[in-house]
Structure 1
């Protein structure tokens, strides 16, 4: 794997949700605490950002040419031409202390997304599935901070992260989109930080960003560490695969929780990093809305 480099000085307070949008050959990501959505074209260096109406956990490209966004208020259609966010579902209207946190799209265009307690105290975070706009609870037990989630290339396994519990679960995905019984995939040692976002590559290995761990780590489907990349920022939140061959890994990072002394030691915190991987990612799926 290649040496990581900073490719965009985003200086995000809480950079998250990187997604490679093939139709644009561009990287999209969010700054949750900065209430911003970002678009970066690595080929030209063009960088644009959009105001969000509150905390935004992710944006994912949809089959109507626009995006679906996870806001603190709920799911919203996002139009980058106008910059408008239109709420389409509020699965946690009765839990105002929560916000939506991370998401992925499976091969059927279903969105798997989680929530979390914004104060990082209560076990109020749940995992949901949105299928053509119809949202249902996945049935998994609530945790404080849901993360990931990630889907295996064959669509048969979902990886679901309990960040504060330092545990990543693997869950069978049934043909009808319901979930089977979860089992422990990996447990992260305290010295290695907390598991944040995850994504699968084309071999079915799972890449995990480690908050406070200064690295992204690759696990085999059996849960064995098979590689890792150290990065020049402590809080690595998630990676995605981009480029025409999907062999460039892009990592988001965060400045959140770092005092002045910590930032002096990691001035690149909050930036977007890139490094080469030998095993490509999986082409991204579009959110099925139509």
Structure 2
């Protein structure tokens, strides 16, 4: 289950996780250098840290990761035993917004959480599977995905730290898949991977669908922008729960893909967290 692609501009490296195997993978495209690091415990996301390392969302905790190993715990999230962390982002102020989900993908026990100034709070967005969040360049708007409902919501966080009075930004027809991870490019257009949809989509800030990229496999989980000009989109995919017939039809499922984009992405934010 490939997830959480992250471009590290400090080293020109693309990172992503395999949640179910407990592994982190890295790729240096210029040299095609690849590494796999066993971390265990369902790694949901990896974020850049202002101190030079990474913040790893794994299981029930935010942890410090130095590129080789987990070196300590930053915060522990109080949630049901059957839940885990799933996706996250850093806003322009260095705050970490991240989601949790029901491992069984049925109970509405997941939510969006905020870690800022050493304080951890649950801010809303309750549902079974959270994805995103993604925050606009000015730090004012946050996009949150309710995957099972097929909905992408937008919240104004410019003057508050809670997800209230949200606007329904987009609804994905179940025939087209379900929305998975989201990311914003330099024009604040939203890219979303579609689980079961064989594609990724780009939406304008007004909610209009402006681009669709097709894939040779069904489950596209998330995109990250990388390369020197941030005009290469890297996409993770998954092969979880696929039978032999589906795997024969989709031999590349679970792989990492890349495609060029006309509009570059943005550099990933740096989390400001206590050591």
Q: TM-score range by the shorter chain?
A: over 0.9
Q: Deviations over 1:35-89 (max 9, x none)?
A: 00111101111111111131110111101111111111311111224x1342221
Alpha-carbon spacing, 1:191–1:265, altered in 2? closer, same or farther (3 Å)? same
Task: Kindly report which structure 2 residues correspond to 1:44-193, keeping only aligned pairs within 5 A, or say none.
Answer: 44-81=31-68, 83-92=69-78, 94-138=79-123, 140-175=124-159, 177-193=161-177
SS in 2 for 1:170: strand
8 Å CA contact 1:52–1:85 kept in 2: the answer is: no
Q: TM-score, normalised on structure 1?
A: 0.92
8 Å CA contact 2:141–2:156 kept in 1: the answer is: yes
Q: TM-score, normalised on structure 2?
A: 0.96
Alignment length (residue pairs)? 274
Match of 1:41 in 2: 28
**Aligned-partner Cα distance in 2 for 1:260–1:180:** 44
The CA deviation at 1:179 is 4.2
The CA deviation at 1:271 is 0.7
The CA deviation at 1:233 is 1.2
8 Å CA contact 1:233–1:266 kept in 2: the answer is: yes
Q: Deviations over 1:185-220 (max 9, x none)?
A: 000001110000000011111000000000000001
Alpha-carbon spacing, 1:132–1:29, altered in 2? closer, same or farther (3 Å)? farther
8 Å CA contact 2:21–2:40 kept in 1: the answer is: no
8 Å CA contact 1:25–1:41 kept in 2: the answer is: yes
Q: Which has the higher strand share?
A: 2
SS in 2 for 1:103: strand
**Aligned-partner Cα distance in 2 for 1:272–1:85:** 27
Higher relative contact order by CA 8 Å / sep ≥ 6: 1 or 2?
A: 1
**Aligned-partner Cα distance in 2 for 1:288–1:84:** 18
**Aligned-partner Cα distance in 2 for 1:74–1:141:** 19
Structure 2 residue ranges without an equivalent (≥5): none
**Aligned-partner Cα distance in 1 for 2:181–2:150:** 12
SS in 1 for 2:86: strand
RMSD of aligned residue pairs (Cα, Å):
1.2
The CA deviation at 1:132 is 3.7
8 Å CA contact 2:84–2:100 kept in 1: the answer is: yes
Which of residues 196, 199, 211 is equivalent to 1:215?
199
Q: Deviations over 1:113-163 (max 9, x none)?
A: 00000011110001001114321111x241000001111122111000000
SS in 2 for 1:261: helix
